[in-house]
Structure 1
Amino acid sequence: MARLDTKLEAEGAEFLVLGQLLLHRIPTYKTYTNIPGYDLVATNTAANRSARIQVKSRWRTGAPFFLIKNFDCDFVVAVRLNRGRKGGNGHMQPPEYFVLPIELVKSVHRPGPWCKVVFRDITDLEAYHDNWSLVDCFLRTDSTHHVDA
């Protein structure tokens, strides 16, 4: 069976994450050019800080891992789109979001030709499920990137 083309869904995942951040009152914008390393930039303009966010999505319901090659960001938001399985099998569920600090991702990724992060390798994965406050707290600390005016 041919590989499933999920480019449209991957683009949609970026907008889903953007929407979640905005709903959590975290000002964020999407990078419309192909910037290696991140897809979204969350900002705290009052503190002149920003967070670079890479969105990694998996189409399959309950996907066990995601692929990553570039670690030039502050967070990875892994999105399980939960659209079923290839060939139309499986059941659809609402998307799941895991807000992962990049240092955590670096510590659990499996190097190699696939360079993947397996969800079961992340200790206390549920602590990162829909945890948008991690980005908010990051934007309020001194260890963030400054927004260029």
Structure 2
Amino acid sequence: MIAAVNLDEGPIAIHRTFLSGDAKADFDKPKRALGALGEAAVRLFAPASGLLGLAEGIESAMSAYALTGIPVWATLGNERFGLVSVPESVTELHLFVDHDAGGELAASRGLAAYARDGRTIHVRKPSSRDTDWNDELTAWLRRKAAR
């Protein structure tokens, strides 16, 4: 899977996830960036009416969007929450963090970096410990199918 990593000016890097069948490839570091990420993100959806979400990975970002309808960008790492440049026009920011220690780090960094007058920040995590937003979507789909 290949994704452009963008700033306002356009793409500055490429993020690659090596896959094997329906999972990440079984070798060291199946997720790799080509180029310096800096303040960029995988901008999957444009902010809408001042609303934007951030999630750790591409799969989590897409899953958070599917569950909430909030446009989401992938930061490409829990440690990158707070590094990604968020437009000043964003007045409501949702931090879709993992429900684990990495997610706590992401929430802490995001809250510190993105707080400003006129902006509301929501920290959102999946319902179950040690899961991410892709796990949350998978569980929701299973529950829906079981009805």
* TM-score, normalising length: structure 2: 0.27
